[in-house]
């Protein structure tokens, strides 16, 4: 059995670094216009995009996704400056295996 190649991917929203298979990374990038999002962020963006597209009938799925992505990135930018986020970020630094 062949082992899937694992690569590091960094979330464009919250900066989380995860080890993922290449296929998974490419799949996420394809869904979000070339950006890679972590599991939490991609779920939030997909949710928001689904809400936007059903709410505003004029919005295409792709446009809804872009808008949701922008909103979520702005939201994550705000979180990043909060003390609670910095604690979580410190935890991640500790757990990170990709920096070398
Ligand atoms: Zn994220």
In a domain, 55, yes or no: yes
pLDDT of the chain, 100 residues: tens digit per residue = 566 789 999 999 989 999 999 999 999 999 998 999 999 999 999 999 998 888 777 678 888 899 999 999 998 887 767 766 666 667 676 676 554 4
The pLDDT assigned to 47 comes to 93
Per the structure, the complete domain to which residue 81 belongs is given by 7-94
The pLDDT assigned to 77 comes to 81
Q: How many A from CA of 1 to the centre of ligand 1?
A: 31
In a domain, 100, yes or no: no
Per-residue pLDDT tens over the stretch 39-68: 999 999 999 999 888 877 767 888 889 999
The pLDDT assigned to 97 comes to 58
* Euclidean distance between CA atoms 92 and 54, whole angstroms: 35
Q: How many A from CA of 82 to the centre of ligand 1?
A: 15
In a domain, 86, yes or no: yes
The pLDDT assigned to 61 comes to 83
Q: How many A from CA of 40 to the centre of ligand 1?
A: 6
Count of domains in the chain?
1
Q: How many A from CA of 54 to the centre of ligand 1?
A: 24
In a domain, 2, yes or no: no
In a domain, 56, yes or no: yes
Buried b (16+ CB within 10 A) or exposed e, 13-48: bbebbbebeeebbeebeebbeebbbbeebbebbbeb
Residue 23 tokens, joined: 């296929």
In a domain, 60, yes or no: yes
In a domain, 99, yes or no: no
């Amino acid at each position: 059995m062949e082992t899937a190649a694992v690569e590091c991917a960094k979330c464009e929203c919250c900066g989380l670094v995860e080890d993922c298979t290449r296929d998974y990374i490419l799949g996420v990038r394809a869904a979000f216009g070339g950006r890679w999002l972590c599991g939490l962020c991609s779920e939030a963006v997909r949710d928001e995009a689904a809400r936007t597209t059903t709410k505003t009938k004029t919005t295409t799925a792709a446009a809804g996704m872009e808008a949701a992505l922008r909103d979520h990135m702005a939201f994550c930018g705000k979180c990043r400056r909060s003390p609670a986020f910095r604690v979580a970020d410190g935890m991640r630094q500790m757990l990170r295996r990709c920096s070398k």
